[in-house]
Amino acid sequence: MTEFLQILIFGLVLGGVYALMASGLTLVFGVMKIINLAHPIFIIAGAYISYWLFKLFGLDPILSLPIGMIGMFCVGVVIYKLVFQREAGNPKFIEMTVLLSFALALSLDGLLGFMFSNTHRITSPSYATEAFIVGDLFVPKGQFYAGIMSILLILALWLFLRYSRIGYAIRATTQNRDAAQLLGVNVTFVSTITFGIGIALAGASGALISFIFSFFPAKHWEWIAILMSLIVLGGMGSLLGAVLGSLLLAVIAAFVGDVFGPTWSTMTFFFSLFVILLIRPQGLFGEKLE
Amino acid sequence: MSEERKVKDILAERKDYERNLISSHTKKGSKKFQILMILGVLATFPLFQIAGFQFNYVLHITLYTFMYIAMASSWNILGGYTGYVSLGHNLFFCIGGYFSGMILASYGVSSFITAPAAGVVAMVAGFIVGFVTLRVRGPAFIISSIALLMMVKILFDNWDYVGGSNGISLPQMDLPAQFIKIPFYYAMMFIAIITLIASYAIRHSKIGLGLRAISQDEVKAECAGINTRFLKILAFAISAFFVGLAGAIWAEYLTYMRPNIFLIILIAANMVLMCILGGKGTVAGPVVGAILLIAFNEFFVSQFGASEINLLGTGIIMLLALIFFPNGLVGTLRKMGRLPQILDWD
């Protein structure tokens, strides 16, 4: 029983972090129908920012989170304006944006690899290697803090979307872009802001994973497929779906990893992605993907 | 105007005028002649090697270009003509390579003999994969192709029969090191030529017309009576065949097989980028794109060393090509009306 609980806790905590990673991605898709294959490389960029802030100034990754988020927000806005905005009216929009984000991911991969080389890095604040001992259970402090921060950030995001004016505008654009435009929402502005928020969330989750996983520039390919599987299960565009999908899949992957071995736990994500795309492409809460 | 100009005079004048129009543009058959000339020159490269000039690097680069011409052209059949962007296409590269490589390692049969079989195996795999994944369209298809690639990479990394992630060494051919590249050179040239012929044939046939209809609007194509499911799966299988062929020869050329050589996403990115640079959906596009991209790559490597700058360069070129030349070089030239005859294979 203890082992079962142990694995469940691992899965849930990790799922929280994955949920934060996926939330930015699903938000961007919901508002602009952009499948941002470059999202994971922004996560890694955020991780690098935290890593260097920790190494050079001793700033704790969780405390330096706001800095990373603001920086990445600005980066996101600039990238949207430079790269994605011009595709807005294109009939082949989805195909073009996928290819564009793919090219963006390649470029950033090369840039980060060139600037920081491909060595595996990991931030090491003191709590990264400690753990809470609760009875027979062993809860790693680093992952626990990361999970809590992720939940807080997702809650903040949800409150923002629910109660602020821009949040209303974002939700309106997600539901029906044309209708929102007719009602006076400046969809270009909303799109830009949302992309910035999405990348800021990526930066935040990067800061959090910087002390959980060791990262290097090429790791983003692994995460693309994992994140895709999370949001496809939950339904692309749905925040609740992203959270539920992440928790569910992370727990299942943890159990699979325990039974079959660690290499197969990543396989769970890819396999479930494949299966869901064939059986129910819209996932749990999403709209029909066309 | 004198009434004595008879009708047949006017008709004769008209005929002359039209003949002049045509001959001011092309001479009949000059395009085929030019292409055959280029192929002839390329076929003589190995003779320089035999004659003792140090042509090994040139042979390697040209061989590499032929391989990518074949792979990009066959990707084009699925991605360009049909409009289904598959970012995991080097899955078939791996299947073809491993099939031939394992037979070579276990039974010593050269991959020149088993390459067609490897192509057929890749084609069957393409059939099955296409049958399953072509039920979804657009972005779901792209994501599922990436997921499939990742899954197969994990499978191959853990499969001890083919050596897992360490791979297997393959025996070399029994030729002195000077001449060892020559059979591969001709093999790759042959593969590139037959892929281009197939691509041209598809483009100018009813199948090609059906595929183009699917890329424009699949629902309307289905309504018009085109059997979209059959055509899509056929395109997938054909495009997998040539990639598998190339993979088989490449495995023996490298004399080493590892999942990391065949299943990295950079190869798929290269295939896609070559088609985009050259012109998706045209016959000559992938050729132009392949030559350009390999030239860029060699230039970057010679200037900056084989570091990550390559990846950055490839990514930036792809971004610029997508933003400013979405129709690729051939497509944009055709729109401007300045496409040289030798590239106009449509």
Q: Does B271 touch chain A (CB under 8 A)?
A: no
Cα–Cα distance between B286 and B270 in angstroms, integer? Answer: 11
With CB atoms and an 8 Å threshold, state whether A107 touches B85. no
The pLDDT of residue B125 is: 93
pLDDT digits (tens, 9 = 90+) for B286-309: 999 999 999 888 887 887 766 667
Instruction: Record the pTM.
Output: 0.84
The pLDDT of residue A241 is: 85
Is beta strand A131-134 parallel, antiparallel or unpaired with respect to B168-169? unpaired
Cα–Cα distance between B139 and B144 in angstroms, integer? Answer: 9
- Mean pLDDT highest for which of A59-63, A224-228, B129-133, B237-241? B237-241
Helix/strand/coil for B66: helix
Per-residue pLDDT for B1 more than 60? no
DSSP A261-283: -HHHHHHHHHHHHHHHHHH-TTT
Cα–Cα distance between A288 and A232 in angstroms, integer? Answer: 11
DSSP A126-157: GGGS-EEEETTEEEEHHHHHHHHHHHHHHHHH
| Helices within chain B (DSSP H only) | 7-25, 30-50, 56-76, 90-107, 111-133, 138-157, 181-203, 206-216, 218-223, 228-254, 259-262, 265-278, 285-304, 309-324, 328-336
Nearest to A274 among B151, B269, B322 (CB): B151
pLDDT digits (tens, 9 = 90+) for A257-280: 888 888 788 888 888 888 887 787
Residues of B in contact with A267 (CB under 8 A): 151, 154
Nearest to A95 among B138, B310, B314 (CB): B138
pLDDT digits (tens, 9 = 90+) for B205-236: 999 999 999 988 888 999 999 898 999 999 99
Amino acid identity for residue B107 in this structure? Y
Cβ(B277)–Cβ(B328) under 8 Å? Answer: yes
> Chain A window 108-167: which residues touch B at a Cβ cutoff of 8 Å?
108-114, 118
Could you report how far apart the first and last alpha carbons of chain A are, in Å? 44
Q: Does A44 touch chain B (CB under 8 A)?
A: no
Nearest to B151 among A109, A270, A289 (CB): A270
Q: Does B85 touch chain A (CB under 8 A)?
A: yes
Cβ(B211)–Cβ(B78) under 8 Å? Answer: no
pLDDT digits (tens, 9 = 90+) for B102-122: 888 888 888 888 889 999 999
CA nearest to A87 within chain B: B323
Cα–Cα distance between A244 and B257 in angstroms, integer? Answer: 41
CA nearest to B133 within chain A: A278
